[in-house]
Amino acid sequence: MIKAVIIEDEFNALNTLDKLIKYTQKDIEVVAKIDNVTDAISFLKEETPDLVFLDIELIGGNAFQILEALESISFKIIFTTAYDEFAIKAIKFDTIDYLLKPIDSVELSECIDRFRVGYKKEQVYKNALDKVSELNKKEIQKTLLIKTADAQYFVQTKDIVRCQSDGAYTIFHTVDKKIMSARNLKYYENILSEHTFVRVHQSHLVNIKYIKKMNSNNTVHLTNNEVIPVATRKKSYLKQVLDNL
């Protein structure tokens, strides 16, 4: 039997994948189901599964933090993600494939078939690079998966005006709605800082494309007429960023 592990923090997604494997892949046994980075690292340091189905965003961090914490990777990986953009980062690892959510049973079977016949690293590089090239040609906008207590939203980063800390939660202010995520602002700062977002204050992460002007009283005026505080230590950095636009 092929020993597999599912690392996924969405109960419905985990349950669906587990059932798909159970009913369509008779030679695969799911030996563990894990929903967070810490437990995943501990498990993979002690156990040696053959195959890991690995969600990108997890409780306590992301998939790449898990892989980077391991001294060696002896198992094969199928990333499960809602983001085509993560194909870029997946190239760094000896991964065999990745599945886009919601996972389709046919695509799952195709991934497993490639695993069985022995998928080569060079093929992964080529397939991932081809996919990235295809995405660039289509000029698909970057999207962010925002998980709430009872739903998930796919939001284009260009439509996010700002993010505001609310304790352990983050409130997203987009061009047309508000969404409260059960993850903290630091988590999203790590993701969105690669786009056009700047942490201007302990409680505020702002998309600089929506900044209308900087005020002399340590605030910024946004295009939607909101006024957001700027920490004194962030003022010079923000001015430098805006001057370089």
DSSP string for residues in 49-117: -SEEEEESEEBTEEHHHHHHHSS---SEEEEEES-TTHHHHHTTS---EEEESSPPHHHHHHHHHHHHH
Predicted local distance difference test score (pLDDT) of residue 83: 63
Q: Share the mean pLDDT of the chain.
A: 83
Predicted local distance difference test score (pLDDT) of residue 149: 72
Alpha helix (H) residue ranges in the chain: 11-24, 37-46, 63-69, 86-90, 105-117, 121-138, 185-192, 232-243
Predicted confidence band of residue 245 (pLDDT cuts 50, 70, 90): low
If one compares 120 and 210, the residue with the highest pLDDT of the two is 210
Predicted confidence band of residue 132 (pLDDT cuts 50, 70, 90): very low
Do 242 and 231 touch, CB atoms closer than 8 A?
Answer: no
pLDDT, tens digit, for every residue of 16-55?
Answer: 999 999 999 999 999 999 999 999 999 999 998 999 999 9
Task: Check whether 126 has a pLDDT greater than 60.
Answer: no
Please report, rounded to a whole number, the percentage of residues in the chain having pLDDT higher than 90.
Answer: 42
If one compares 223 and 81, the residue with the highest pLDDT of the two is 223
Task: Check whether 195 has a pLDDT greater than 60.
Answer: yes
| CB count in 10 Å sphere of residue 194 | 10
Predicted local distance difference test score (pLDDT) of residue 204: 96
Select from 79, 199, 66 the least CA-distant residue to 208.
199
Predicted local distance difference test score (pLDDT) of residue 141: 47
Distance CA 160, CA 108 (A): 32
Averaged pLDDT for residues 133-147: 57
Predicted local distance difference test score (pLDDT) of residue 93: 56
Q: Is 141 helix (H, G, I), strand (E, B) or coil?
A: coil
Averaged pLDDT for residues 160-169: 94
Q: Which residues face 202 on adjacent strands?
A: none
**DSSP code of 159?**
G
Helix axes 105-117, 11-24, angle to 10 degrees: 60
Do 62 and 56 touch, CB atoms closer than 8 A?
Answer: yes
Averaged pLDDT for residues 52-81: 86
